[in-house]
Amino acid sequence: MFVTEKKEETLLLVGGNTTNGSEILSYLSKDYRVLSAKTGKEAYELLRLNEIDAILFDEDIGDISGESFFKEARVRYPDITRIFMSESRDDQKVMEIFKAGAVYQIIPKPCPPWHLRLLVNRALESRELARRHRFLSRELKFSDNAFRSSKDHMVKLLRESYEFDKLVFASDAMLNVCNLARKAAPTDLPVLIQGETGTGKELIAKAIHGFGSRKAFPFLVQNCGALPDELLQSELFGHKRGAFTGAVSDRLGLFSAADGGTVFLDEISEVSPAFQVSLLRFLQEGEIKPLGADKVGYADVRILVASNHPIKERVEAGTFRKDLYYRLHGFEINIPPLRERVEDIPVLAEYLSRNYAETLNRKIAGISGQVIRHMQAYSFPGNVRELETEIRRMVALTSNGEFVSIEHLSSEIAQALPVDDRIKEQSYINEAGTLKEKVERLEALIVTQCLTRHRWNQSKAAKELGLSRVGLANKIKRYQLIAVGKS
Ligand SMILES: Nc1ncnc2c1ncn2[C@@H]1O[C@H](COP(=O)(O)OP(=O)(O)OP(=O)(O)O)[C@@H](O)[C@H]1O
Ligand SMILES: [Mg+2]
């Protein structure tokens, strides 16, 4: 394998044993980072570990035919531009490859290197135009100047990512969440933000405040889970001197301090019935009664609340007041767990690692695709916060200028096998277990293979399997199937 110095776009030259092979390599290296593989095996390994923009396949490679190589590359890496250099003068054979592999160009050999350089330039230009077209169509759909393409100041993996305030994402699920937050922002309604720990509830709350009319006023946060009732009441509403043991002086509460701004109440599901009553009164009348005071005061504060548990369940269980619940969910925003939006993992990993590397004053070359695939197979119970900690550790372990790679992964995540790899192992079905478990594994395998065949087009896969779309979605969820290598 041979790697030239790092440039913007990466070419994979497969074969290249022709007479002018080294000339081609040095020509292309002027514009691109060029990886070169002498065998098909080497080529697959490089594809797996790198983000490649174009493949140049030189026909005379020993261990694999151009046709089968492109067939596989087309399915697994549909985004890569494929160019085939052929010696063949047999029209039919060349056309077969063209159809089967959907190559962008077939170039007769020998080809002068300057011509090849022009062709590769053109091919990547047209790929970039197609990419921008896709991106703009999507932008148009969600036309909103809060979102902007991050391409200009972010790298490779962030190709189609969005930012909303401090949130970075690529999934439609998060796009919907942020669109809703954006709509909620200019209103003065309370917002109930729900999601597992570490999903970004506080970031969303800050963004709502930042995009609303109160942004020049304070945004104050109170965690309601950790405090005994009296202390929580006093934190928020304030107290008079002597109101309780330890109240040695008057204290202004958070609501008064945030007058004109926003108060974010975290872990709202944990508050006591007495506190629920006070909060309801505040929401209805803006009334503040400090502990031990006989006069009420007023504050103009917008309330945003968050919960790790669905509040509705607490309402049904009778531990959370229904009237308060209805007051609080002017808007309800539910942030899905990270494992249900694995498309966000590459962009988050890239963003978090760049950020952290910067604070360490270190340069990393990127994150290997293999690391991302393992991360996408892992369940992340701690969501983005857990990903953040993992990335920080990995960046700290990576030497300057190197890729964050598989050996830096924590063993827990390294053990999460990407579905693709797992199902390749014959023994997978026969692992110990009851008949039911084995049948389920077989079912997961069949569904995965069908989905892979249809490049995760769920309508087509459901049709082939004789399932409804909902039925298929349930199986994907149940077996936690993940689209590996999906474009
Ligand atoms: N989409 C995102 N883009 C960038 N960073 C994110 C994103 N989502 C979460 N984070 C980061 O992950 C960490 C956890 O986010 P946050 O504190 O908002 O989560 P939370 O849902 O409030 O968690 P908890 O329930 O534990 O309070 C923070 O460091 C935050 O910056
Ligand atoms: Mg939080």
Higher pLDDT, 9 or 418: 9
- Find the 275 Cα to ligand 2 centroid distance in Å: 20
Pairing of strands 331-334, 302-307: unpaired
388 pocket-lining for ligand 1 (C-beta < 6 Å): yes
State how far the Cα of 435 lies from the Cα of 425, in Å rounded to an integer: 19
pLDDT bin (cut points 50, 70, 90) of residue 485 is very low
How many CA atoms lie within 13 Å of 279's alpha carbon, on the beta-carbon side?
32
197 CA: nearest ligand 1 atom: 25
State how far the Cα of 66 lies from the Cα of 103, in Å rounded to an integer: 10
266 CA: nearest ligand 1 atom: 27
200 pocket-lining for ligand 1 (C-beta < 6 Å): yes
Give the pTM: 0.62
Structural domains in the chain, sorted by start = 2-133 (3.40.50.2300), 185-334 (3.40.50.300), 339-414 (1.10.8.60), 419-478 (1.10.10)
State how far the Cα of 105 lies from the Cα of 115, in Å rounded to an integer: 13
pLDDT tens profile 57-113: 887 666 777 777 877 777 777 778 888 888 777 777 777 777 665 677 788 887 888
Pocket test of ligand 1: the residue of 191, 384, 391 to mutate, having most ligand atoms within 8 Å of its CB, is 384
Ligand nearest to the CA of 353: 1
198 pocket-lining for ligand 1 (C-beta < 6 Å): yes
State how far the Cα of 175 lies from the Cα of 162, in Å rounded to an integer: 8
How big, in percent rounded to 5, are the helix, strand and coil portions of the chain? 50, 15, 35
State how far the Cα of 354 lies from the Cα of 367, in Å rounded to an integer: 10
For ligand 1, atom 8, the nearest C-alpha belongs to: 200
- Find the 135 Cα to ligand 1 centroid distance in Å: 26
What is the mean pLDDT of the segment spanning 247-264?
89
167 CA: nearest ligand 1 atom: 3
State how far the Cα of 467 lies from the Cα of 472, in Å rounded to an integer: 6
388 CA: nearest ligand 1 atom: 12
- Find the 220 Cα to ligand 2 centroid distance in Å: 13
pLDDT bin (cut points 50, 70, 90) of residue 7 is low
What 8-state DSSP symbol labels residue 399? P
Provide the total of helices (H) and of strands (E) in the chain, helices listed first: 21, 19
| Beta-bridge partner residues of 58 | 85
380 pocket-lining for ligand 1 (C-beta < 6 Å): no
Compute the C-alpha angle 159/118/151, nearest 5°: 15
Candidate from 152-166, 312-326, 441-455 with smallest mean pLDDT: 152-166
For ligand 1, atom 16, the nearest C-alpha belongs to: 200
CB 274 within 8 A of CB 209: no
Q: How far is CA 62 from the centre of its chain?
A: 39
73 Cβ contact list (under 8 Å, min separation 6): 47, 55, 80, 82, 101
Share of the chain above pLDDT 90, in %: 36
pLDDT tens profile 219-252: 999 999 978 888 899 999 998 887 777 777 788 8
pLDDT of residue 124: 85
Residue 15 has pLDDT above 60, yes or no: yes
- Find the 266 Cα to ligand 2 centroid distance in Å: 6
User: Rounded to the nearest 10 degrees, how much is the dihedral formed by the CA atoms of 395, 396, 397, 402?
Assistant: 50
